Structure 1
């Protein structure tokens, strides 16, 4: 077991080392600069078209899509705002120190540009299945988009790359980190048997995903807005109670981001490189910018222009990281629990417990449950899209495998709980497994999105001209790949 943990630690250290850090930040900077700093210069417009339109009727209409824009963003936020915001961010601070939060911010602000590009390309290159329903995502824009860029003699390489992404991404299914972190949080808060909870939780997840994508998006549309408000309100309460400590906390975050953090209390100390690595890794895992995951549900939305859905991608990152992760991190830091030596959900529970007493542990346990279940059911949609694309040429086999997948979907989380309890696997090791499975497809996805940047920039230019009055619109420009391919 020690050998496996050491191997994972070294592998993650390499995979999430300087090359990937530069790739995440560099690609985010590319799309930020290439669009004229869209998320900064047009922030008011962005919020108006996303948050400001949440309750408009057209955002809840399915139309030509498989899901409405509201259902898509609810499912995407539900998939992004998960245990990574509670257990993952807490682990980043416990390992990398408060400075990890600074790099999480940097990665998220630039990640807004990257996420918009991913979502836009996923919608642009999406395909219509035999039922007339749209599906898209990294495997679609890698196969179709990269295939167009390559010479005809080697164009099939794009299919190989799409397969590599699909297989690598699917490996996340086996990590079981969602169910484990939820069980860990409930064990800390309520003292109930972790195995019993794991079984009950798995049954609930199974009931939701058994209804397929339709039930998942309907569930997300009802629960996600409530869970975000509930958690942000509870975490913000800790920050407000300790409001006098916020200025010194900000100084600590910025200073330790560049100089590292000295050992204090139960905190062993961390170099600046550790803060950078943990901050960016947690940012990508939390808001999924660069990971390509939520693009698979965004691509199913009813939308008139790919960039319009891309704006929702920006909003998703903003809510997940700049709002939820920030208040969670600040609550851990200002409560003084960051240096306790605890990790994961247990650290987050201790921060709530320090302010709310016994009630605090229960509050965050409820948040962990809500976040975890919306994330795990949301990710069902992503795996579902991968299977649909991989089996698109054999409809009968596709339907059988999709049905079988619904049956076994909760098993990895349940098995992880059993395995962890039996062998006493540390929380940090569970997150090492997740980081390992996340790194390879993330790297490939970002490279491919950058390669398709020319297509994205043309779509942004067209969107600005059509809907923002910036520039002159070309009436012959095709905003969807299939329209262009069909010559419509």
Structure 2
């Protein structure tokens, strides 16, 4: 853990922090603050169209299915356990930097999703696949003549595959153990079995499953959190003041909290925001590329919406619940901290309900991530269908095991904390994010061309160029 923490500290040092903020500013300013100026348009054309029967264009899945997998992959332990750990380690000020990252992340994610859809490819069976490795190959390699795009793609892929050591199994085992007293190993084994059941039927089926599970989970969690905030409404002004002041001055030691400097607060806030929203990470574009859509930016709006829901809404509720209940300096971290905060108002019943929600959130995240791994394996194999099927089938067997090993180490060794587990997450987030952010900044010109065309076609801003190609491969 000492080695992992050292590498994590180096990775999440000033270069990556500056890169995240710089990329966010480039896309926010370059788009003329699209996430503010056209927030109504974003909401109207995302959540406002969820149950539309209109044919949305070519692709494999409906928007509701895609957004449910993507939100299921993003909304989960990061929003509940990750945010709690950020506050436990960095103090209330970490919540402020989560908000900053979310605001800038709306445009970063909109850009990476749009690029993924634009550069996507159709396989021999007519399925659409895309993502960072695809826009590295076509955008960097072919269009810009960068010969070493493959090196970047490999580094990105290694970082993404590091997420097989997922937080989900650990967080579920930790939560169920804390609430029901069931041994972590037993919970971990059950989770492995459910993961096998969920992934055996692959991407299109995952979309239908996620569409039924994810939306009600989000609504339920938000309602429960808002109830707690309302009960503690008199503490809300002080909580907001603490969040804002600590973000720039650091947090003094108090209770079981050891204190934190500004640099640590910024780091924990930005890293947890990226893990919870996946903005700039390059993950959810891999599933968005399969969506039925008429325009890349139209799908990009869903990317912005994900950040709005997952981070602006759910992470905010988690942060405020922890701070207004006064448990942020209790010495707890991860999911147990969130559970304890919910229990202060909702009692044991609330704890049980939130534990079930965590379980479902985590399972949706695990199944959503399977879609990302499959996309990378498909791109790696190219047109070799036999190799593709072999690798995918082998990976199905391997996929749940590393996450269980994390539970095994925590349960048997009993010397790994939630904060330690999140240091592993910092590695598997930071490595691919560093590569992906550099690439989307280089390809920002193409995104701004697509955005300009979108504004002309759908917002009446500018003139439509009839010769403009909406997709790299004509559809």
Shorter-chain TM-score category?
A: over 0.9
SS in 1 for 2:467: coil
Deviations, residues 95-122 of structure 1 (Å, cap 9, x unaligned):
0000000000001000001000000000
Structure 2 Cα separation of the partners of residues 301 and 150 of structure 1 = 26
**1:18 pairs with 2:14:** yes
SS in 2 for 1:156: coil
Match of 2:96 among 102, 116, 119: 102
**1:315 pairs with 2:305:** yes
Structure 2 Cα separation of the partners of residues 104 and 17 of structure 1 = 17
Match of 2:382 among 381, 392, 401: 392
Deviations, residues 176-233 of structure 1 (Å, cap 9, x unaligned):
3111011101111111121111111211111011111122111100001110011111
Q: Do the aligned partners of 1:188 and 1:361 also contact (CA within 8 Å) in 2?
A: no
Structure 1 Cα separation of the partners of residues 144 and 148 of structure 2 = 8
1:74 shift after superposition: 0.8
Structure 2 Cα separation of the partners of residues 482 and 264 of structure 1 = 58
Partner of 1:39: 35
SS in 2 for 1:57: coil
Partner of 2:5: 9
1:160 shift after superposition: 2.2
Query: What does residue range 66-215 of structure 1 map to in structure 2 within 5 Å?
Result: 66-151=60-145, 155-173=146-164, 175-215=165-205
Deviates more, 1:277-286 or 1:191-200: 191-200
Deviations, residues 14-65 of structure 1 (Å, cap 9, x unaligned):
111111111111101100111111000011111111111122123xx57521
Partner of 2:410: 420
Match of 1:334 among 317, 324, 328: 324
Structure 2 Cα separation of the partners of residues 161 and 278 of structure 1 = 26
Q: Do the aligned partners of 2:73 and 2:368 also contact (CA within 8 Å) in 1?
A: yes
1:234 shift after superposition: 1.0
SS in 2 for 1:65: coil
Q: Do the aligned partners of 1:332 and 1:338 also contact (CA within 8 Å) in 2?
A: yes
**1:474 pairs with 2:470:** no
Structure 1 Cα separation of the partners of residues 440 and 431 of structure 2 = 14
SS in 1 for 2:435: helix
Poorly superposed stretches of 4+, deviation over 6 Å:
none
Q: Do the aligned partners of 2:295 and 2:470 also contact (CA within 8 Å) in 1?
A: yes
Partner of 1:371: 361
Deviations, residues 430-463 of structure 1 (Å, cap 9, x unaligned):
1111111211111010000000001010000000
Q: Do the aligned partners of 1:75 and 1:221 also contact (CA within 8 Å) in 2?
A: yes
Q: Do the aligned partners of 2:159 and 2:427 also contact (CA within 8 Å) in 1?
A: no
SS in 2 for 1:481: coil
Partner of 2:443: 452
Partner of 1:238: 228
Q: Do the aligned partners of 1:120 and 1:456 also contact (CA within 8 Å) in 2?
A: yes
Match of 1:297 among 284, 287, 290: 287
1:149 shift after superposition: 4.5
Q: Do the aligned partners of 2:271 and 2:426 also contact (CA within 8 Å) in 1?
A: yes
**1:433 pairs with 2:424:** yes
Structure 2 Cα separation of the partners of residues 216 and 349 of structure 1 = 28
Query: Structure 1 unaligned runs (5+)?
Result: none
Partner of 2:391: 401
Query: Structure 2 unaligned runs (5+)?
Result: none
Structure 1 Cα separation of the partners of residues 203 and 92 of structure 2 = 38
Partner of 2:23: 27
Structure 2 Cα separation of the partners of residues 167 and 207 of structure 1 = 25
1:429 shift after superposition: 1.1
**1:53 pairs with 2:49:** yes
**1:343 pairs with 2:333:** yes
Task: Work out the number of aligned pairs and report it.
Answer: 474
TM-score scaled by structure 2?
0.98
Q: CA RMSD of the aligned region, Å?
A: 1.2
Q: Do the aligned partners of 1:144 and 1:158 also contact (CA within 8 Å) in 2?
A: no
1:364 shift after superposition: 1.7
Deviations, residues 308-355 of structure 1 (Å, cap 9, x unaligned):
000000000000000000001100100111010111111111101122
Match of 1:255 among 232, 245, 253: 245
Deviates more, 1:438-447 or 1:418-427: 418-427
